[in-house]
Amino acid sequence: MLYAIFGQDIPDSLEKRKVARPAHLERLQALQNAGRLLLAGPFPAVDAVDPGVAGFTGSLIVAEFDSLENAEAWAAADPYVAAGVYTQVAVRPFKKVFPA
């Protein structure tokens, strides 16, 4: 089943994000290589593709996991969690409707 993972950033998270980003992307790449990643990306803090020093306010990952518990465990082990980028992480079951 698909699960949506929402990570909420701490204020001024950009420097911590930069440090943890390679390990974070490596885990996402592994999901993609396994055919389990639907989409992933950050929420810019301002209305721009590249928010510059404004940084980001959080992230969204939609991926396939065997269970809610597995999705929660995967999210809890994210390098952004360990680096203190996220203040909280929420995981919800997700049903993709479009595109069909």
Query: Tens of pLDDT along the chain (100 residues)?
Result: 999 999 999 999 999 999 999 999 999 999 999 999 999 999 999 999 999 999 999 999 999 999 999 999 999 999 999 999 999 999 999 999 999 9
Domain ranges of the chain: 2-93
SS3 (DSSP) at 96: coil
DSSP letter, residue 100 = -
Which CATH superfamily groups domain 2-93?
A: Dimeric alpha+beta barrel (3.30.70.1060)
What predicted TM-score, i.e. pTM, was given to this entire model?
0.96
Q: What beta strand segments (E) does 10-82 contain?
A: 37-44, 56-64
